[in-house]
């Protein structure tokens, strides 16, 4: 392999993990590491503080550095720094899913112009190999569907709510105590992190540019212990699912939201902080990739895997890994959530009066919705009842119209939750 001089931007959990693993590779020399706080104490044995700088442009303007590894995250200043690095002919390896989801088209186009490579295996699924397999060994396939769990924090919370019967707030606090969730968990629990990853994964899977701003996104903050219990009784588990589908008309259905997943489904068995990606394509059929979706060592595995492939290629050619170049020219036509079709879970609070289930059935019927299952257990102290409905496949806009009609009925006191059910 070619000897490479590298610069690392970002020295948090992932950057430190990359540094530690790289110590065992003799052909990789770390020239400089850019950090926010140069005076922060580093828990590393025999670490040379002279490697550190708080000016990332020292790396991108250094003619001795061949590759920039960016693991700092965020849009600013990462975007401008990486553009400068590309301008200077440096190859890029990044784990920055937000940057790629929002600014990837511009960065990839600039990289093509400057004849450098951007590799980003670590940006989706942590240690799970998924980007390069799609671009290489699976390139003969027409991928029709993605169904994935792409965020370890939310999967951990939902697992504990299911297995330990914890409330959402208690499970979140436990995730924060263990370091799975940030002090401000919004990026994870509201589905932003998952949406960034899905935008990247959908773009390469469907070979069309997917607009992050058009991905429907819904987090897990509205999931209650009652929803978890009802789902279990009906034979489901609740998971935050990243869904992408190539429709027969060529349009793309791309969204992130909680779903009821049948207990027997493989994704229902993915627990705690584990991630999993299911792909369906022709001619390969169905595939599933499962593993650690975050953390220092799993993410470092993907970052350094990209680096070593690049080192091997640069030994033989000035045009490395042509399969990795993003040449997407067509923009995907993404459908609105109202035009999607799903089975649905509807939880309502209704007055304990004769005919209330009939009212729900009538409203559903008027809106082209067939009911598959309806469940009521007991009466509350205020003489109301919790009723759960599972529908057959229906159009989202019809479901929303039905919910409006239910709320207008004197018999329906509240719509507690609406969740989609994975077919």
Distance, CA of 239 to CA of 217 (rounded, Å): 14
**Is there a cis peptide before residue 114, judged by omega within 30 degrees of 0?**
no
Comparing C-alpha atoms, which of 220, 232, 131 is closest to residue 181?
220
Query: CA-to-CA distance for 76 and 96, rounded, in angstroms?
Result: 11
Euclidean distance between CA atoms 417 and 273, whole angstroms = 25
Looking at residue 21, what DSSP letter applies? H
Catalytic-labelled residue, pool 97, 197, 208, 239: 197
- Strand runs (DSSP E) across 184-296, as ranges? 216-217, 236-246, 252-262, 274-282, 285-292
Look at strands 4-9 and 67-70 and give their pairing. Answer: parallel
Residue 202: which H helix or E strand, with range? helix 192-206
Pair 95, 302: CB distance under 8 Å = yes
19: CB partners within 8 A, 6+ apart = 8, 11, 30, 33, 44
Is residue 67 within 8 A of residue 4, CB to CB? The reply is yes
Q: How would you class 8 by CB atoms within 10 Å of its CB: exposed for 0-12, middle for 13-18, buried for 19 or more?
A: buried
197 labelled catalytic: yes
370 φ/ψ angles, rounded to the nearest 5 degrees: -95, 135
**What order do you get walking across the sheet with 118-119 strand by strand?**
52-53, 28-34, 4-9, 67-70, 91-94, 118-119
Beta bridge partners of 262: 236
CB 127 within 8 A of CB 297: yes
Give the C-alpha separation, 82 to 88, whole Å: 10
Question: Rounded to the nearest 5°, which phi and psi values hold at 292?
Answer: -70, 120
Distance of CA 171 to the CA centre of its chain: 20
How far is 400 from 382, CA to CA, in rounded Å?
27
By annotation, the residues acting in catalysis are 197
């Amino acid at each position: 392999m070619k000897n490479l001089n590298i610069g690392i931007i970002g020295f948090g959990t992932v950057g430190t993990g990359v540094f530690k693993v790289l110590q065992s590779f003799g052909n990789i020399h770390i020239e400089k590491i850019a950090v926010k706080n140069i005076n922060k104490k580093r828990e590393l044995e025999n670490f040379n503080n002279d490697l550190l700088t708080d000016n990332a442009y020292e790396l991108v303007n250094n003619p001795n550095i061949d590759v920039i590894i960016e693991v700092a995250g965020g849009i600013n200043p990462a975007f401008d720094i990486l553009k400068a690095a590309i301008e200077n002919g440096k190859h890029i390896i990044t784990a920055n899913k937000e940057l790629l989801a929002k600014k990837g088209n511009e960065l990839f186009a600039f990289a093509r112009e400057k004849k450098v490579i951007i590799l980003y295996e670590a940006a989706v699924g942590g240690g799970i190999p998924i980007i390069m397999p799609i671009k290489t060994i699976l390139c003969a396939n027409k991928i029709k569907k993605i169904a994935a769990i792409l965020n370890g924090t939310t999967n951990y919370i939902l697992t504990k709510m299911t297995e330990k019967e914890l409330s959402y707030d208690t499970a979140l606090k436990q995730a924060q105590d263990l370091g799975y969730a940030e002090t401000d968990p919004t990026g994870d629990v509201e589905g932003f992190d998952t949406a960034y990853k899905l935008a990247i994964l959908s773009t390469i899977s469907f070979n069309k540019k997917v607009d992050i701003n058009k991905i429907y996104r819904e987090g897990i903050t509205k999931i209650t212990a009652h929803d978890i219990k009802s789902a279990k009784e009906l034979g489901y588990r609740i998971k935050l699912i990243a869904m992408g589908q190539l429709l027969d008309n060529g349009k793309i259905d791309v969204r992130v939201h909680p779903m009821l997943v049948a207990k027997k489904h493989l994704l229902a068995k993915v627990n705690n902080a584990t991630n999993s990606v299911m792909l369906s394509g022709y001619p390969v059929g169905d595939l599933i990739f499962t593993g650690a979706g975050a953390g220092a060592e799993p993410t470092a595995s993907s970052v350094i895997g990209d680096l070593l492939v690049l080192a091997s290629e640069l030994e033989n050619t000035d045009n490395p890994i042509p399969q990795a170049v993003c040449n997407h020219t067509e923009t995907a036509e993404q459908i609105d959530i109202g035009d999607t079709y799903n089975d649905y879970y509807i939880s309502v609070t209704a007055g304990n009066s004769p005919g209330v289930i009939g009212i729900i059935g009538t409203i559903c019927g008027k809106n082209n919705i067939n009911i598959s299952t309806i469940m009521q257990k007991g009466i509350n102290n205020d003489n109301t009842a919790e009723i759960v409905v599972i529908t057959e496949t229906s159009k989202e806009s019809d479901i929303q119209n039905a919910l409006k009609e239910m709320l207008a009925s004197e018999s329906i006191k509240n719509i507690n939750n609406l969740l989609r059910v994975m077919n």
